[in-house]
A and B are shown apart, each in its own frame.
Chain A
Amino acid sequence: MLEVVSPGALLTLQDRGRPGLAHLGVPPSGPADPWSYEVAILLADGRPDGAGDASSAAVSAVRPVNGSGPVALEVTLGGTRLRAIETCAVALSGGDLGAELDDGTRLAPGRVHRVAAGAEIGFAGGTGMRAYLGLPGGIDARLVLGSASTCVAAALGGIDGRPLRAGDVIAPVRRGHLDAVGRTWPAALAPHPARSVDPIAFVPGPDLRHLHGRAVEAFRARSWRVADACDRMGIRLEPHDGVEALAPGREILSHPMLPGAIQVPADGRPVILFVDGPTIGGYPVIGVVPRWEWPRLGQLRPGYGVRFAAQDAGSARAAWDRQRAALAAGTARAGADLVWERLADGAGW
């Protein structure tokens, strides 16, 4: 059980979100970096459904598992401080935001740490944009429209639809479960997608007929900088000094949007719509960032330089399949490691 001492830039609860409600104007929400969310959940529980290790299946049977997945904390940029009300296991993943305990012990991402009662976890800031913190069994939270994910813009999910603030208590679904401590994500086998230095892929379209004939080429050829306006609703891109933006996008008849859609507004500075973004938009979409690249979008932070490369949908699907396979391989290895440690402890299971 944790208490928020300071929320930092933005602290929210996220599960896998509420897809399928865009016809009501509800964005899917969910983790901005889905890879790291899954890693936090898998480390905390050894299983993607949050039902916990086999030994605790009987406990989880009492409480039905949330259809949107277990709830994790999404930490943004830094400044966040959390105090352990009781000793607990904390799974950490995502960007390395400089997490450490108040005694100076560094908390590396990709590992389950034991945090003693009274200790404080601080995120001083580091590289990347977001870190995820999971508790065994998931964090207890109320579902709104089928999900606990916080969507601040629409005041949905989390605690009263707002970002977490000082004094909020983050309680696990069940208490005192320390079995996962020490479990480590095999980063060499399944590295975070943001380790890649390749341009971020986008599938061109669907609104190319409303854009300049060489718009895709111009977007691809430029190097962009992530603007300060970079949040869960959208990521604005700006050209580097002395470089032109794209030709202005002109208003079109609005059509449904989805996360990853790269809109070209009137000032020619593209905006990548993201997980809490608008479900309908009126500027042309030059391309859509495919699912496998979302973890990298979730780790973009203001000031980062970024380039893009066109990719056909089929290649993007193949990349998605490889990413799922890597996640599965990492899970198997992390689970195997845990079994080995328990044997070494003579604990059995």
Chain B
Amino acid sequence: MPEGRSEPPAPRIDQAGDAALIASLGDDLDIETSGWALRAAAWLERRRAEMPGLGAPVPGHASVLVSFEPDRMSENELRNLLLAALAGTRQRAQRGRVTRSEIPLPFDGGVRHEIPVSYGGSDGPDLAEVAGRTGLSEKQVIALHASVEYRVLVVGFMPGFPYLGFLPAALDLPRRATPRVRVPAGSVAIAGRQAGIYPFETPGGWHLIGRTDAALWDPGRDPPALLAPGDRVRFVPIPPRRPHP
């Protein structure tokens, strides 16, 4: 995880169909690159009022996807805009003119959240396997998972699903070889150097180590997602809600 990079890497820009472009900042997961992608998306979002035809930007871990209406904006215009979004954040940062009102800096602030987790048992059916594969005890896995403050890198895949970075390296495991057909809502999961929480029942390939009652998604709430990119998350172990099998 490189620290303190003063400018984003040069993006590559590819077509995503006939009405969208995606700017990629690289193939590695690190918090700096994630921050550049979020800032560029925020900058583009602010251009929308003055640029009809510009769709809502969607940030990824190291990328930004933007749709556009080709009869109101050319692909080249959008290409230049994407370059400006990334270069713009760089120039402003270099001039020391970055303020929170001008460009949101997701990684400097962020709301703090504590997520209560019931670990193991039927709430976290993969805890024992994770312990076995990492050579740790279940208690050590829980302690490690709850030991760090995570940042919400991006929200997506399904409504309100947070990708959280970064999981301690000792817990780094590839995804399950065979995804589960059914992951219960509220499942607290890990994969690679990331942690996540499933807001809905869904198929999924991450390792399930616990479960929470926190309402990650409520369409009647504004915003409906509990967690936003840049927010800080801590997991707090609570006694199991259900008897262990």
Contact = CB atoms under 8 A, between A and B. Distances in A.
A and B associate in one complex: yes
Interface of A: 19-26, 144-145, 153-156, 203, 205-207, 251-258, 260-261, 278-281, 285, 288-292, 313, 316-317, 320-321
A22 B60 contact: no
B18 A25 contact: no
Contacts of B17: 203, 258, 260-261, 288-291, 313, 316
14 contacts: A22-B156, A24-B224, A25-B161, A203-B17, A206-B14, A206-B22, A254-B60, A255-B62, A256-B64, A261-B16, A280-B60, A280-B156, A290-B19, A320-B70
Contacts of A24: 155-156, 159-160, 223-225
A19 B54 CA distance: 12
Q: What is the interface of chain B mostly: helix, strand, loop, or mixed?
A: loop
Contacts of B155: 23-25
A321 B14 CA distance: 22
Contacts, number: 135
Given A25-B158, A253-B26, 10 more contacts: A23-B155, A156-B219, A206-B22, A206-B24, A253-B61, A255-B63, A256-B59, A257-B65, A260-B17, A313-B15
B86 interface: no
A23 B158 contact: no
Contacts of A260: 17
B65 to A, nearest CB: 4
A291 B163 contact: no
A317 B200 CA distance: 36
A291 B19 contact: yes
**The 8 nearest A-B residue pairs measured at CB:** A288-B17, A206-B14, A316-B18, A256-B65, A20-B56, A280-B156, A290-B18, A256-B58
Contact of B41 (A23, A25, A154): A23
A253 B62 contact: yes
Contacts of A288: 15-18, 20
B200 A154 contact: yes
B225 A258 contact: no
Contacts of A290: 17-19
B219 A145 contact: yes
B157 A317 contact: no
Contacts of B57: 23
Nearest to A279: B156
A254 B154 CA distance: 10
Nearest to A287: B17
Nearest to A265: B179
Nearest to B158: A25
Contacts of B157: 25, 254, 278-281
A203 B18 contact: yes
Which residue of B22, B27, B160, B200 has the most chain A CB atoms within 10 A of its CB atom?
B22
